[in-house]
Amino acid sequence: IVMTQSPATLSVSPGERATLSCRASQSIGTRLAWYQQIPGQVPRLLIFDASIRATGIAARFSGSGSGTEFTLTINSLQSEDFAVYYCQNYGAFGQGTRVEVK
Amino acid sequence: EVQLVESGGGLVQPGGSLRLSCAVSGFNFQTYWMSWVRQAPGKGLEWVANIDFHGDEMSYVDSVKGRFTISRDNAKNSLFLQMNNLRAEDTAFYYCARETPGGACYYDYWGQGTLVTVSS
């Protein structure tokens, strides 16, 4: 399975919404996770099973989708949210989407 | 507090070997599958290998099959990655990661990583 993320880079102003996409090369049901990696830090699990927030993750992060199309939405972007986001299904990671300040 | 601490990285020549270790604490190690995930500098994440609770079942990404061996010592709360015949493309930060229960291979805790550099 190949995971493809788009866009590669997303420019967003603080307080706005960011919408990130992840596509699987074949149907994976809802077996999808999203991770956040702030530069210089280790990845952090945000969402698993496509839509369930991990422990301690803020409600402004939400995941949706099933089958082959998935979305991570970040509402009202905060300064600490500018990072790289990866989707993952089992051994396959997407290439990442960098969310940067517009 | 859950902690995973990797060690064993360093500079090695192509064709050389290294053994990475990951010492864990703060959870019942023997009840979790564990993985190694790597990240070349400035690049994305790549799953490398995982191992079941007792070390009976292991899986590897194709690019390391036959060269890397994952193992664990539950008595010592430790995870290992033996890396042989290293190549330049193996240069990366190597993270040990705990898999969430249920078999979906999500990673809820990560170590800080250890850098492996393969270069002559």
Q: Quick one: pLDDT band at residue A83, thresholds 50, 70, 90?
A: very high
Residue B31: DSSP 8-state: G
Asked whether the predicted pLDDT for residue A55 surpasses 90, the reply is: yes
In angstroms, the separation between the Cα of residue A13 and the nearest Cα of chain B is 24
Residues A34-46 have pLDDT tens digits of 999 999 999 999 9
State how far the Cα of B95 lies from the Cα of B110, in Å rounded to an integer. 6
Q: Is B108 within 8 Å of chain A by CB?
A: yes
φ and ψ of B77, to 5 deg: 50, 50
Residues B1-21 have pLDDT tens digits of 999 999 999 999 999 999 999
Nearest to A91 among B61, B111, B113 (CB): B61
Amino acid letter, B52: D
Nearest CA to B101 out of B52, B58, B54, B60 is that of B52
Q: Do A93 and B47 touch (CB under 8 A)?
A: yes
Average pLDDT score over residue span A9-20: 96
B36, B114 Cβ separation under 8 angstroms = no
Asked whether the predicted pLDDT for residue B111 surpasses 90, the reply is: yes
Indicate the helix (H) or strand (E) that contains A5. strand A3-6
Which residues of chain B are within 8 Å of residue A91 when distances are taken between CB atoms? 47, 59, 61, 105
| Best residue of A38, A42, A97 to probe chain B, by most B CBs closer than 10 Å | A42
pLDDT of residue A94: 97
From the CB of residue A1, how many other CB atoms can be counted at a distance below 10 Å? Answer: 13
What is the percent of chain A where pLDDT is above 90? 97
What is the percent of chain A where pLDDT is above 70? 100
Residues B53-108 have pLDDT tens digits of 999 999 999 999 999 999 999 999 999 999 999 999 999 999 999 999 887 889 99
Residues B32-45 have pLDDT tens digits of 999 999 999 999 99
* Interior/surface letters A28-61, b for 16+ CB within 10 angstroms, e for the rest: bebbbbbbbbeeeebbbbbbbbbbebbeebeeeb
